[in-house]
Structure 1
Amino acid sequence: MEHDLVVFVPGFLGSRLLRDGRDVWGECGDALLNSPPTARALAEVALPPGLGDEPPEDRFRLTADGLLRTPDSLPGLLSTMGYPDLRAALGEPVDGQYVPFAYDWRLSHRLVAARLDTAVQRALTRWTERVDTHYPDRPDDPKVVLVCHSTGGLVGRYYLECLGGRETARTLVTLGTPHKGLAQAVRLLTGHAVGDGGDLTTDALTLNEVLRDFALNLPSVAQLLPVYDAVRVEGRSRPRPLTDRRYPVPGLPTALVQDARSFHAEFTRARDAHRRTDAGGRLPYQVYCVGGTAHPTPRTIGLSADGQHVLTDRDDALGPGDGTVPRESAVADWALQDRTEVLWTEHRNEDMAGTALRDWLVALRKGDPVGGMLAGDEEITLHAPTEIAAGRAFEVSVLGLNIQDRDLRAVIWRVGTSAREPVVFSANGTGRFRAEMVGKPGKWVMEAVVKGPMRADRKVITVYTA
């Protein structure tokens, strides 16, 4: 296993998108936050309606030139810390053994999977020709270890089961993959990405409209719609699927719901067909699934009793997860027998492909035993809003075991700058340390660190102009 080709598939936002050498998404994202929101800010990264699984025409095409190395976010959907130290997290594979697969994350997962197929075949051929130089005593010919972060796992599993990648795969690792979708995709696609539906500023309402119009034409976002029961109707006891015709979600195009269902159903059919021919019904490759369980995560979308209005401030909308992917969606139940086989971590989704999981990833590559829990009681949790309007005060807090004795330190910095500003927390007598801040426009990262033992948590905070 140590001699296998390692291919990394990043998640949504995880690749830099360029045109004529310019970081187009970076420029557009900054423009969206640092001035009153308009559709013009995202014009250069927008896709035409009805693209489906096809590549865009030249005037809409962007080049994915490599993995993102700095934090980023799409307000109302998800964020990422980037992948500045990924090779180290994978145990420093030798030259030619590691392939980072950058791609245009706006496009259909089906299309991206086909491009992954081409890239893997080319890289595996090259690696097979030179593997003797580094691993002369290997037990067999090299295969592929596919490590996928977040939505990249949807690309990876489609490539394996629908496009024949299973024939050369040794292992699939999914790190915080939304195997059953994201409730946040519903909010984004219905114009409720930012805010709780209460006292929204005019700019917040406009930002929601701009984000919705942008996301409606991104095939990848439609394919993130949840296929679990994610709709809670006021006065009803059980959640319902998006396909429940009695309670269609207002503003959510039926065609997008159908595409999400079709995307997941196509994969399920392929997996079921292979199960009938696989020896003992077992996959020919090993699957390791890492999920989060320590952070409040949007799990459902609420509807009014008459089904006419989306409710975004329901107390029961949150559940355990990694802050982005709810616990149940992170389970690769198409490959695992039950949830006890999932490796649970207390890290956030955006941090799962960093050095936090290095020891586990290195052990996996070497074929050594890996543990069933990737965090302990000494972890800390940083609570902060995901999005906030500029000029508004907001509270951040840190929870954890014996923090008062562990020298809590915290800093915040704007993405793209090196200056760190200290954040001073004070204890409130209940074990929670809190601080109050006022947002300035832009994308920010806050990090809290404690000692005894050393633990950290960090989060991207997106501040939009109001």
Structure 2
Amino acid sequence: MEGVAMPRNLPNPVIVVPGITATQLRDDYRLPPDSVWGVLSKDYERVVMHPDNLNYEAVQPARIEPGELFDVAYRELIAELRHDLPAKPDETVPVFPFAYDWRQPLEATEVQLAAFVDEVIDRTSLLRHYDAGGWTSEPKVNLVGHSMGGLIIAGCLDMLGPRARVGKVATLATPFRGSFEAVIKVITGTSDLGPGVPSSRERDAARLTPSLYYLIPSFTDGLDIDDASSLPRTLFNMNLWQPNVVDTIGQWIKTHGLNKKSPKSQAIDLFGAMLRAADAHRQRIEAFRLEKANLAPGDWLAVVGVDATTRVRLRIQEKAGRPQFVLSGEDRRNYWGDRQIPPEQWTITGDGTVPFAGAMPSFLEPRHLVCVVPDDYGYWEIGDKLFTRLAGFHGILPNMDMLHRMIVRHFTERPDKHRSTWGRMAPGVAEKDWAPAVDLGKPK
């Protein structure tokens, strides 16, 4: 009919949601604004949240806002998607980075992501080829989440339900069920969860970072507590944590708090509240099902990193009625592909940060997962291989060229004529049952 746009199969615009600590933070109160969190410099004291109001910083006056995504982790991913998604050079497919304050509770970030989805749809609707192609009749976005970014996506979709205007999702190395590295970060101030060296400043900041508790592991395999112990069996219970966590929070309350109530009593209340909020969010993610957001397993590409030595176990012993964390290098293991180990134990692996057990989403069966290993970096990515050894497989996973091609195929449904994408099955999955969101042919 004349004057009516004929529908075309234009790729949805894309939003890339980064992981924890991977967005720069700046203080807009200063003129000019200055960085308080970047790749090379971090001002831990200025990013600690205020114990009376976790929406704001302890050191005031300040106005900390998210800046750009860490270039080293996401530049190539975003550039490749922008280059490869368009079917024609003059038909841009928007790929937006989603910068957010990664310190905040995930529920707040999920609300921001939902609003950003609407903004991206509105902006894309202004592009002539999307308007002429009929995309605006049923507009949707596609989402890419790395690490904690995937948790935010899942929580956002659960919140929106059938109102979610999302077509497809790709998640990379997401700790849907947590990581022991979040615990190590709170205990010691360092871990494989983010950059940095051990310091009391980093530890103090971690203990007042609400989002970090959302990454606490909820899977039971790996939490080693004596059967005879009276300790709780979940890390979402504050009685399973060493008392010095509460002590640190109490010190910040004593220094910055306004309430005259006992600092220790306030610290107990605050620590318990952060754990309860994180636990409630985890239970919500566990209960989420794709059909709630009008999605199917074929709409969600879940990539899991394996074959890297990863902390898969945490020993907690009871000493004088109190918990004591026993950290050991023996708890970092990798049994992937070890012919001396029964195949059912090949799940004792991970990406260096997230153990396989923590990367398993409740809303996808293992047969839908795609496993990748460090050796999947190509010959021309030898620099990335070296960087992986320094930055960790988990952190650099978004830089893998093969995954860029896989995500493009997922979003466009293009065939793989040159067999340039591949993957591996999760342990225990039969080849005949393997059904990833992208047809990858015979598994490696």
| TM category, shorter | 0.5 to 0.7
3-state SS of paired residue (1:214)? helix
Pick the aligned partner of 2:234 from 210, 234, 241: 241
Pick the aligned partner of 2:74 from 69, 80, 83: 83
Once the two structures are superposed, the pairs formed by residues 21-40 of structure 1 within 5 Å of their partners are 21-26=33-38, 30=41
Once the two structures are superposed, the pairs formed by residues 114-133 of structure 1 within 5 Å of their partners are 114-130=111-127, 132=129
For residue 23 of structure 1, report the CA deviation from its aligned partner: 2.4
Q: What residue number does 1:412 align with?
A: none
3-state SS of paired residue (1:304)? strand
> Is structure 2 residue 206 aligned with structure 1 residue 215?
yes
* Structure 2 residue identity aligned to 1:225: I
CA distance in 2: counterparts of 1:150 and 1:135, whole angstroms: 36
3-state SS of paired residue (1:114)? helix
Once the two structures are superposed, the pairs formed by residues 10-409 of structure 1 within 5 Å of their partners are 10-19=18-27, 20-26=32-38, 30=41, 41-49=43-51, 51-52=53-54, 54=55, 59-70=61-72, 82-92=73-83, 93=85, 95=92, 97-130=94-127, 132=129, 136=133, 141-164=138-161, 167-191=164-188, 193=190, 207-229=198-220, 230-233=222-225, 240-243=233-236, 251=244, 253-269=271-287, 271=288, 283=296, 286-304=299-317, 306=319, 308-313=323-328, 315-318=330-333, 319-334=348-363, 336=364, 338-347=365-374, 348-356=393-401, 357-368=403-414, 374=422
For residue 194 of structure 1, report the CA deviation from its aligned partner: 6.2
CA distance in 2: counterparts of 1:115 and 1:245, whole angstroms: 29
CA distance in 2: counterparts of 1:129 and 1:30, whole angstroms: 38
**Structure holding more strand per residue:** 1
CA distance in 2: counterparts of 1:194 and 1:359, whole angstroms: 30
* Structure 1 residue identity aligned to 2:277: D
3-state SS of paired residue (1:171)? strand
CA distance in 2: counterparts of 1:159 and 1:4, whole angstroms: 18
> Is structure 2 residue 36 aligned with structure 1 residue 7?
no
For the 8 Å contact 1:228–1:241, the answer to whether it is kept is no
CA distance in 2: counterparts of 1:361 and 1:2, whole angstroms: 15
* Structure 1 residue identity aligned to 2:399: G
**Residues 361-394 of structure 1 deviation map (CA, whole Å, 9 limit, x = unaligned):** 1211211368998458xxxxxxxxxxxxxxxxxx
3-state SS of paired residue (1:352)? helix
* Structure 2 residue identity aligned to 1:231: L
* Residues 17, 329 of structure 1: alpha-carbon distance in 2 compared, 3 angstrom cutoff: same
For residue 180 of structure 1, report the CA deviation from its aligned partner: 0.8
Unaligned 5+ segments in structure 2 are 1-8, 86-90, 246-270, 334-347, 375-392, 425-444
For residue 159 of structure 1, report the CA deviation from its aligned partner: 1.2
For residue 61 of structure 1, report the CA deviation from its aligned partner: 2.9
* Structure 2 residue identity aligned to 1:241: T
For the 8 Å contact 2:310–2:354, the answer to whether it is kept is yes
3-state SS of paired residue (1:18)? strand
For residue 266 of structure 1, report the CA deviation from its aligned partner: 3.2
**Residues 335-361 of structure 1 deviation map (CA, whole Å, 9 limit, x = unaligned):** x1x212111111422122224212111
For the 8 Å contact 1:242–1:249, the answer to whether it is kept is no
CA distance in 2: counterparts of 1:194 and 1:148, whole angstroms: 21
For residue 178 of structure 1, report the CA deviation from its aligned partner: 0.6
3-state SS of paired residue (2:405)? helix
3-state SS of paired residue (1:115)? helix
* Residues 333, 257 of structure 1: alpha-carbon distance in 2 compared, 3 angstrom cutoff: same
For residue 84 of structure 1, report the CA deviation from its aligned partner: 2.0
CA distance in 2: counterparts of 1:123 and 1:244, whole angstroms: 39
CA distance in 1: counterparts of 2:126 and 2:136, whole angstroms: 16
Instruction: Tell me which moved more, 222-231 or 151-160.
Output: 222-231
**Residues 279-303 of structure 1 deviation map (CA, whole Å, 9 limit, x = unaligned):** 8xx6598211110111011123212
Percent same amino acid among aligned pairs?
23
3-state SS of paired residue (2:96)? strand
**Residues 238-294 of structure 1 deviation map (CA, whole Å, 9 limit, x = unaligned):** x9432579855554544443222111123445x36x85x788xx6598211110111
For the 8 Å contact 2:50–2:56, the answer to whether it is kept is no
For the 8 Å contact 1:250–1:309, the answer to whether it is kept is no
* Residues 290, 154 of structure 1: alpha-carbon distance in 2 compared, 3 angstrom cutoff: same
RMSD of Structure 2 on Structure 1 (CA): 3.6
For residue 220 of structure 1, report the CA deviation from its aligned partner: 1.0
CA distance in 1: counterparts of 2:297 and 2:329, whole angstroms: 43
CA distance in 1: counterparts of 2:184 and 2:165, whole angstroms: 38
For the 8 Å contact 1:89–1:353, the answer to whether it is kept is no
Q: What residue number does 1:396 align with?
A: none
CA distance in 1: counterparts of 2:420 and 2:217, whole angstroms: 27
**Residues 403-443 of structure 1 deviation map (CA, whole Å, 9 limit, x = unaligned):** xxxxxxxxxxxxxxxxxxxxxxxxxxxxxxxxxxxxxxxxx
* Residues 13, 233 of structure 1: alpha-carbon distance in 2 compared, 3 angstrom cutoff: same
* Structure 1 residue identity aligned to 2:209: L
* Structure 2 residue identity aligned to 1:88: A
* Residues 312, 375 of structure 1: alpha-carbon distance in 2 compared, 3 angstrom cutoff: same
* Structure 1 residue identity aligned to 2:50: P
For residue 130 of structure 1, report the CA deviation from its aligned partner: 2.2
CA distance in 2: counterparts of 1:251 and 1:145, whole angstroms: 43
* Residues 373, 294 of structure 1: alpha-carbon distance in 2 compared, 3 angstrom cutoff: farther
CA distance in 1: counterparts of 2:132 and 2:372, whole angstroms: 32
For the 8 Å contact 1:180–1:227, the answer to whether it is kept is yes
For the 8 Å contact 1:194–1:208, the answer to whether it is kept is no
* Structure 2 residue identity aligned to 1:163: L
**Residues 43-100 of structure 1 deviation map (CA, whole Å, 9 limit, x = unaligned):** 2222212545x46697343222222113xxxxxxxxxxx2222223325255462211
